[in-house]
Amino acid sequence: MNPFELKPMEMENCFKERKDLYGYSYDKYSADPYSKLRIILMNGTEFEEVYFGHNAMRNEARGDLRRDLALLRRSEQMQQKQIACLKPISESVLENTIAYEQLAVDLTALMASREQNLYVKHCLDFALLEDFDHLYRYADLMNMETGEKAEDLVGGYTEIMPGRPTIAEHRHPYDDVKRPISAKQDSLLTKLQVNIITAAEQQTMNYYMNQCGFYKSDLGRRLYQEIAMIEEQHVSQYGSLIDPVCSPLEKLLMHEYTEAYLYYSAYETETDAKLKRVWEEFFEQEVAHLHFAAELLKKYDGKEYQEVIPKADFPELLALSEQKEYVRGVLKNTVNETAMREDFSRLDALSDTFDFFSYQKRVNGNDAGIASHEVIEKHIKELGEDYRYQLKEHPVSELRKRDEDNVRVGRVKSKVAAK
């Protein structure tokens, strides 16, 4: 499928009557979890388009181009509004949060498992274990506060157990900034994956930024606050991978291509017939956006789209699927890693003066009052053990105990931890 070879609809025809933006939402009990995840992913993708479009306009002096960007942005906004309300009224913030973290786990693992740029793969594997841990902490909050079991929401696709403990994820800001990929040298799939994961993590970051003040308990609000800070780190990591050398209109073209790829992937893999129709319609709109972006690139930069995307056939589509064994392997091999500037390091290899340790001390203090730890401790106190959906023994021996929350893994050097 090469979206440049399709005949695009008129841009103005992307605008829909208001009543057509609202109607269907999925049934939270019977929907396939991956349908929910696709909605979150596409919602995040549209958020990214909208903010990219606003920033592009603010950095642009030419009135015609500013108006063209406004035209495009209006259509992205309409798509986002319709997608936002595909989620049913009855789904709570915390239930929705479980889907956000499930997406972070299964999307990241899928992309890491097929990523050819080993540095990008390492970045994906690294953050994967952190979102995996977030899923566990939120699931325990849910089980304790409402009695609900998150396994009923993740549909058996994703295990729920400790990853790199959230308390160990707080790192100095300098250690989130990575080396950018090269738009000229890296593959189309690598460029797509970096764009996709940046938008997805940014959506999670935005969601927690907004929701942390609305959650109904103090412990929950503190947990959202804490995990939101890690999502800031993840967005810094992934955003820093994007090639900074491309012009704004080259970036715009790649954004529209990414959207077209994602909607086409969603259309091909969706099992809910009504959602499938939405993805199909939006794919057609994105083809119009993409052709429009190519025209802008030619008109204002004097460049052909082939200079940015020489071979425009979609690479292997994005089909969400179970990643349990992949996640277990990454857990087993890298749970004790942390970030060290643009690279990664086993915790034991760091000098005691490295700023990871001083930052940890500054933000975590003496561990008491750290929500991600407290939520598990409280669950154990009230219900005898933590909540997990674990299908076999945890691959990391230190994370097997169900009646004690380990706050040393990935955070305290083994010679110190053993004392």
68 touching Fe ion, by CB under 5 A:
no
Identified binder of Fe ion from the candidate list 134, 251, 379, 394, rule CB under 5 A: 134
- Of the pair 247, 358, the CB lying nearest Fe ion is at 247
Q: Compare residues 181 and 223 and give the one whose CB is closer to Fe ion.
A: 223
Least distance CB 176 / Fe ion (angstroms): 12
Give the DSSP letter string of 40-89. HHHHHHHHHHHHHHHHHHHT---HHHHHHHHHHHHHHHHHHHHHHTTS-T
| 341 SS3 class | coil
Q: Report residue 158 as tokens.
A: 């994703």
What token pair was written down for 194? 């970096």
Residue 125 interacts with Fe ion (CB under 5 A): yes or no: no
Of the candidates 136, 144, 125, the one whose C-alpha atom is nearest the C-alpha of residue 101 is 136
How many of the chain's residues bind Fe ion (CB under 5 A)? 12
Helix 248-269 with 273-296: angle, nearest 10 deg: 160
Binding characters for Fe ion, 327-366, by CB under 5 A (x = yes) = ----------------------------------------
What the block records as the tokens of 261 is: 């790829």
- Beta carbon of residue 149, minimum distance to Fe ion (angstroms, whole number): 20
Torsion angle, alpha carbons of 121, 372, 408, 175, to 10: 40
Nearest C-alpha neighbor of 74 from the set 107, 50, 98, 110: 50
Q: At closest approach, how far in Å is the CB of 288 from Fe ion? A: 8
Residues in region 78-97 near Fe ion by CB under 5 A: 79
Instruction: Kindly indicate which of the ranges 60-68, 125-133, 236-244, 331-339 contains the residues binding Fe ion, using the contact rule CB under 5 A.
Output: 125-133
Cβ atoms 3, 288 nearer than 8 A: no
Binds Fe ion (CB under 5 A): choice among 73, 137, 172, 289: 289
234 near Fe ion, rule: CB under 5 A: yes
Copy the structure tokens of residue 322: 């179970």
CA atoms within 13 A on the CB side of 158: 35
Position 133 contacts Fe ion (CB under 5 A)? no
Nearest approach in angstroms of CB 192 to Fe ion is: 14
What is the x/- site pattern for Fe ion, positions 149-188, by CB under 5 A? ----------------------------------------
**Cβ(169)–Cβ(130) under 8 Å?**
yes
Q: By three-state DSSP, how is residue 389 classified?
A: strand
Q: Contact residues for Fe ion (CB under 5 A)?
A: 76, 79, 104, 131, 134, 201, 231, 234, 256, 259, 286, 289
